[in-house]
């Protein structure tokens, strides 16, 4: 091993994946043409469970840039659906004395049919409305289900409960 004073650490980890992450950093630096070394926790000042990668001090800035570039290349695309189809859209808003009951009924119909929804309210503040929101991609389906439920009327709900029980 070379004199430590001439070398600087450009990667260090104590995570459960520290060893494999350090090997990966070592590989990236090796492929980029850097002279790099992998160090484990056996060194006198190394924290237990740590792994480090070091390079000659003169290469520090370039090695850090190479590691950053490699990390950016491996960063997965934004989690979730960036298209906006998951944005929530209000399909019901009510402020009457029955608004809470209506919102809960709508929620029950939608969830029973596999449509995700959110009920927003502040029942402790009666001047604020109750809202039912669904993902933009499900608006048409949700509205169709609600229209079907209204057309079937309360008798259909009672019959469905009797069939389920």
pLDDT of residue 1: 47
Residues 13-57: pLDDT tens digits? 888 888 899 999 999 999 999 999 999 988 777 778 889 999 999
Q: Which residues of the chain have pLDDT under 50?
A: 1-2
From first CA to last CA, the distance across the chain in angstroms is: 76
What confidence score (pLDDT) does residue 155 get?
Answer: 81
pTM: 0.47
Contact 105, 117 (CB under 8 A): no
d(CA 77, CA 64): 22
Neighbouring C-alpha atoms within 13 Å toward the C-beta of 11: 30
Backbone angles phi, psi at 132, to 5 degrees: -120, 125
pLDDT at residue 116, rounded to an integer: 94
pLDDT at residue 46 in the model? 77
List the domains of the chain with CATH numbers.
4-74 (3.30.70.1530), 88-164 (3.30.70)
Backbone angles phi, psi at 36, to 5 degrees: -130, 155
């Amino acid at each position: 091993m070379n004199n430590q004073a001439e070398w600087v650490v450009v990667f260090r980890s104590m995570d459960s994946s520290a060893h494999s992450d350090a090997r990966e950093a070592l590989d990236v630096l090796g492929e980029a043409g850097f002279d790099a070394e992998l160090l484990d926790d056996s060194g006198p000042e190394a924290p237990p469970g740590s792994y480090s990668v070091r390079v000659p001090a003169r290469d520090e800035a370039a090695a850090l840039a190479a590691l950053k570039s490699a990390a950016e290349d491996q960063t997965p695309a934004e989690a979730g659906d960036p298209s906006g189809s998951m944005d929530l859209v209000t399909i019901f808003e009510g402020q009457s004395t029955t608004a809470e009951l209506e919102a809960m009924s709508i929620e029950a119909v939608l969830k029973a049919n596999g449509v995700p929804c959110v009920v927003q309210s502040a029942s402790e503040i009666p001047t604020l409305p109750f809202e039912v929101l669904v993902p933009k991609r499900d608006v048409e389906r949700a509205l169709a289900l609600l229209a079907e439920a209204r057309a079937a009327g309360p008798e259909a709900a009672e019959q469905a409960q009797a069939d389920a029980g």
